[in-house]
């Protein structure tokens, strides 16, 4: 039986919370959430001489930032054809450019701060589950080259074994600008960098109340209160009632991962010979990559966020899926299983900006390794310059639930799950 532990946590020392620093009385900026968004913003603000405290409800890096697949991807959750239809050519180009800059930003920060997280431009593969998906990938490749001057390479089913050790897929699309890293090491490294720049990090300091007093906020936490000139909500899928207006715009969706025992070198070379980050075309998608000779295999096996029960059930589903794709892994032990929560806005877009005096950046929908790190930095820069409204991800509406029928509890997820299963069946 695999252990319910985040495998990544065994590969690094996450920041120590045994002796948490006392809260300062007053700061310029209080950041809620100690993941990529919060830590990257804290690093940038502190480097500009801003007095900043990161308040984290659990331990620093506890959220999705140390549990994810470590895929540093180009683009957004919504395909760029859809983005262009919805927002027009100019904004679509700007947003896609941000996604490329985001990967450069991760690379630059990791290099500058000496973060030993194995960042590598290994590229990603989007694999076709059906022949019709491959036709859609062909159209996508043409569109991306024509409109965005972004070159992608089609890998036919015949060539596929050179990239993925399976015959299950009907070809794939390769984007060699994408990268991969060890997410927990990246989060731990960002925390160290933020502290080095002068930010203070406070684990076990869940913000429980925000009160506007004259030009300042009184931020109450589980460990006392502090005053802050500005507040940045970097709480992603874990956004709670302390920022109720944001909570009502975010849908928390579970995503789950298993990690196998270490595999032989020969098997590793056969499974993903070029070390790509791989995900497939389904709505209930599978994503997988290698790290330290282990297969790290994730997917949306259940829609509800992680509990011991959803993790166990998902791990069984994921193991079956993994063996369906790679029958070579039939006898291999799964050693770790865990889950985390993804943040989806109702339009599946990332949103950054300011609402009722509170700054925010969230809605990464599975693209946060690059985008949260980058947007943490850019929202911080915009806060310093006072031009957040000009931020590209602030330039379109941030919708809530249709008819306002949502208070933060995603009652509709079973229906959405069934709908996505149906789409996977017919498409």
Ligand X SMILES: Cc1cc2nc3c(=O)[nH]c(=O)nc-3n(C[C@H](O)[C@H](O)[C@H](O)COP(=O)(O)OP(=O)(O)OC[C@H]3O[C@@H](n4cnc5c(N)ncnc54)[C@H](O)[C@@H]3O)c2cc1C
**For binding to ligand X (CB under 6 A), which residues are involved?**
32-38, 55-58, 62-65, 67-71, 73, 206-207, 234-238, 240, 242, 255, 257, 298, 340-342, 362, 364, 366-370, 372
Strands 124-127 and 172-175: antiparallel
Task: Please report how close the Cβ of residue 135 comes to ligand X at its closest, in angstroms.
Answer: 26
Give the neighbor-by-neighbor strand order of the sheet with 334-345: 153-155, 172-175, 124-127, 277-280, 286-291, 294-299, 250-260, 334-345
How buried is 392 (Cβ within 10 angstroms: 0-12 exposed, 13-18 middle, 19+ buried)? middle
> What is the rounded distance in angstroms from the CA atom of residue 196 to the CA atom of residue 274?
36
Going through 267-400 in order, the beta strands assigned E by DSSP cover 277-280, 286-291, 294-299, 334-345, 351-355, 358-362
Task: Please report how close the Cβ of residue 264 comes to ligand X at its closest, in angstroms.
Answer: 25
Q: Judged by CB, which is closer to ligand X: 157, or 420?
A: 420
* 415 backbone dihedrals φ, ψ, rounded to 5°: -70, -40
> What is the rounded distance in angstroms from the CA atom of residue 1 to the CA atom of residue 302?
20
- Structure tokens, 84: 């262009």
Whether the CB-CB separation of 303 and 254 falls below 8 Å is answered with yes
Strands 172-175 and 153-155: antiparallel
Q: What is the DSSP letter of 206?
A: -
Q: Judged by CB, which is closer to ligand X: 96, or 145?
A: 96
Q: Report the Cα 7 to chain-centroid distance in Å.
A: 17
Collect all residues with Cβ–Cβ distance below 8 Å to 114 and sequence separation of at least 6: 189
H-only helix segments in 88-130: 89-112
Q: Judged by CB, which is closer to ligand X: 73, or 199?
A: 73
Q: Judged by CB, which is closer to ligand X: 265, or 359?
A: 359
Q: Judged by CB, which is closer to ligand X: 160, or 373?
A: 373
Q: Judged by CB, which is closer to ligand X: 152, or 205?
A: 205
Task: Please report how close the Cβ of residue 303 comes to ligand X at its closest, in angstroms.
Answer: 12
Whether the CB-CB separation of 60 and 15 falls below 8 Å is answered with yes
Task: Please report how close the Cβ of residue 307 comes to ligand X at its closest, in angstroms.
Answer: 14
* 353 backbone dihedrals φ, ψ, rounded to 5°: 160, -150
Whether the CB-CB separation of 83 and 94 falls below 8 Å is answered with no
Task: Please report how close the Cβ of residue 343 comes to ligand X at its closest, in angstroms.
Answer: 6
> What is the rounded distance in angstroms from the CA atom of residue 32 to the CA atom of residue 242?
10
In three-state secondary structure terms, 200 is: strand
Q: Judged by CB, which is closer to ligand X: 83, or 257?
A: 257
Task: Please report how close the Cβ of residue 355 comes to ligand X at its closest, in angstroms.
Answer: 16
Which residue has its beta carbon closest to ligand X? 368
Task: Please report how close the Cβ of residue 235 comes to ligand X at its closest, in angstroms.
Answer: 4
Q: Judged by CB, which is closer to ligand X: 166, or 236?
A: 236
Q: Judged by CB, which is closer to ligand X: 267, or 345?
A: 345
Q: Judged by CB, which is closer to ligand X: 69, or 165?
A: 69
Task: Please report how close the Cβ of residue 369 comes to ligand X at its closest, in angstroms.
Answer: 4
Task: Please report how close the Cβ of residue 400 comes to ligand X at its closest, in angstroms.
Answer: 19
Task: Please report how close the Cβ of residue 243 comes to ligand X at its closest, in angstroms.
Answer: 7
């Amino acid at each position: 039986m695999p252990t319910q532990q985040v495998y990544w946590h065994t590969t690094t020392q996450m920041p120590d919370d045994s002796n948490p620093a006392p809260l300062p009385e007053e700061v310029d900026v209080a950041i809620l959430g100690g993941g990529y968004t919060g830590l990257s913003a804290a690093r940038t603000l502190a480097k500009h001489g801003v007095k900043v405290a990161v308040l984290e409800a659990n331990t620093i890096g506890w959220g999705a930032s140390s549990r994810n697949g470590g895929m540093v991807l180009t683009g957004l959750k919504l395909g760029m054809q859809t983005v262009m239809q919805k927002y027009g050519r100019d904004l679509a180009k700007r947003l896609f450019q941000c996604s490329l800059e985001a990967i450069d930003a991760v690379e630059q920060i990791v290099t500058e701060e000496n973060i030993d997280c194995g960042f590598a431009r290994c590229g990603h593969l989007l694999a076709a589950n059906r022949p019709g998906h491959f036709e859609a990938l062909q159209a996508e490749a043409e569109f991306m080259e024509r409109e965005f001057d972004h070159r992608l390479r089609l890998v036919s089913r015949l060539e596929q074994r050179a990239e993925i050790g399976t015959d299950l897929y009907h070809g794939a699309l390769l984007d060699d600008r994408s990268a991969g890293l060890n997410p927990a090491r990246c989060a731990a490294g960002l925390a160290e960098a933020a502290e080095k720049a002068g930010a203070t990090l406070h684990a076990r300091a869940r913000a429980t109340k925000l009160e506007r007093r004259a030009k300042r906020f009184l931020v109450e936490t589980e460990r006392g209160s502090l005053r802050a000139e500005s507040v940045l909500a970097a709480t992603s899928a874990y956004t709670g009632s302390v920022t109720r207006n944001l909570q009502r715009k975010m849908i928390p969706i579970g995503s789950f991962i298993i990690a196998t025992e270490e595999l032989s070198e020969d098997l590793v070379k056969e499974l993903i010979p070029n070390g790509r980050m791989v995900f497939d075309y389904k709505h209930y998608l599978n994503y997988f990559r290698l790290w330290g000779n282990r297969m790290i295999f994730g997917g949306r096996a259940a829609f509800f966020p992680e509990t011991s029960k959803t993790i166990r059930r998902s791990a069984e589903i994921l193991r079956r899926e993994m063996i369906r794709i790679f029958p070579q892994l039939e006898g291999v032990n799964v050693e770790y299983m865990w889950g985390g929560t993804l943040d989806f806005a109702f339009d599946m877009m990332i949103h950054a900006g300011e609402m009722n005096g509170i700054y925010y950046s969230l809605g990464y929908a599975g693209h946060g390794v690059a985008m949260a790190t980058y947007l943490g930095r850019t929202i911080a820069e915009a806060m310093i310059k006072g031009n957040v409204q000009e931020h590209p991800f602030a330039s379109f509406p941030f919708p809530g639930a249709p008819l306002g029928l949502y208070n933060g509890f995603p009652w509709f997820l079973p229906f959405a799950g069934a709908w996505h299963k149906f789409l996977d069946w017919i498409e």
